[in-house]
Chain A
Amino acid sequence: MTIPEIHVAPQVFWTIGPFEISPPIITALIVSLILITLAIIVRVKISLIPNRLQLIFEMLISYFLDQLIIATGSRKRALKLLPFVATIFLFLVIANQFTLIPFVSSIVLGEVLLFKVPAAHYSLPIALIIMGLGTAHILAFLFHPIRYIGNYIKIAGLFKARSFKDFFMAGIDFFLGLMDIVGELAKFISVSTRLFGNLFAGEIVVGIISGLLFITQFVVPIPFIVLGILSGLVQAFVFTTLTMIFMSSTLNSVRRAEEY
């Protein structure tokens, strides 16, 4: 029985200033390079009669554009969010499947694997969600500061109250607004933990199954690897969808109904 050691924190190769260079960071950088080359290739070969690669990307982009139009309520705002959301999806799809490329998962530097699924370390999901939802919150604040704060600290109702019953309802509203702050913080944790948990669990299951007995190294992990591929794709999709929905709901919360 040689179950591999399980590390929650990534192992650090070397440090450059305050940055620790670890397997997930190297993988994430390489995935970014792949994405940039893909983007350049698609952009150079763009034509009125699309080739296969262009068709795939057009399909993806029109799908996310449609979803964003439903979520934000207008094509103009959807086009503003589209690059960010679509990039997160492409990045996660490639990053989650990156270690499936043959021989990539057996390159070793020192004693440590050089490439690991970056989303299986908590830093990447939390960074992505802070980027997404943080941007949405800052934009909403800049767009209409008073209405943004008023969404969470609902003090206006207390002053408008004319009777005791009104005052009571306004008080309840005020506390519900304070609860919304907790709810907003919980979104950050729940969305990022979902991505992290699924990929990390997939990695651990394959590791444990292949380390269980000598025989189980060969054929037995295959169904679990297939499950891992599926959950990687699904989680990339779900992460993108949830980021999209939460971003647009935050941005829409500072708009009045007549501005639609």
Chain B
Amino acid sequence: MDAETFKLLAAGLCMGLGAIGPAIGEGYIGGKAMEAMGRNPQMADKIFTNMIVADAIAESTGIYSLVVALIILFVV
């Protein structure tokens, strides 16, 4: 295999493995938020905005791996 092949393989692996963590985290946050909304529907709006922010923070490692994949593909 030459360097170009390794680059594509590395970018794919980086994105795929990097997506596992955020997926678990966001699923957990979403599940807990649903639970809380079901228990206390009056608070649903507040919980929803907080859930979105928490989701975005849980997502950051996924975004990092996306950036690394982009660097591997286009810059290196």
Contacts and interface: CB of A to CB of B under 8 A. Distances in A.
Nearest to A204: B70
Interface in A221-243: 234-235, 237-238, 241-242
Interface string B45-76: 00001001100110110011011001000110
Nearest to A241: B53
Interface residues of B, number: 14
Contact of B75 (A8, A198, A237): A8
A239 B53 CA distance: 9
- Main secondary structure, interface of A, reads helix
Nearest to B52: A234
Interface of B is mostly: helix
B74 A238 contact: no
Contact of A194 (B52, B59, B74): B59
Contacts of A190: 60, 64
Nearest to A197: B63
Interface in A115-154: none
A6 interface: yes
Contact of A6 (B53, B66, B74, B75): B74
Interface of A: 6, 8, 190, 193-194, 196-198, 200-201, 234-235, 237-238, 241-242
Interface of B: 49, 52-53, 56-57, 59-60, 63-64, 66-67, 70, 74-75
B63 A198 contact: yes
Contact of B52 (A197, A201, A237): A237
B64 A193 contact: yes
B74 A201 contact: no
A238 B58 CA distance: 12
Contacts of B49: 237
B74 to A, nearest CB: 5
Contacts of A238: 52-53, 56
Contacts of A6: 74
Given A194-B56, A197-B63, A237-B53, 8 more contacts: A6-B74, A8-B70, A8-B75, A190-B60, A235-B56, A237-B49, A238-B56, A241-B53
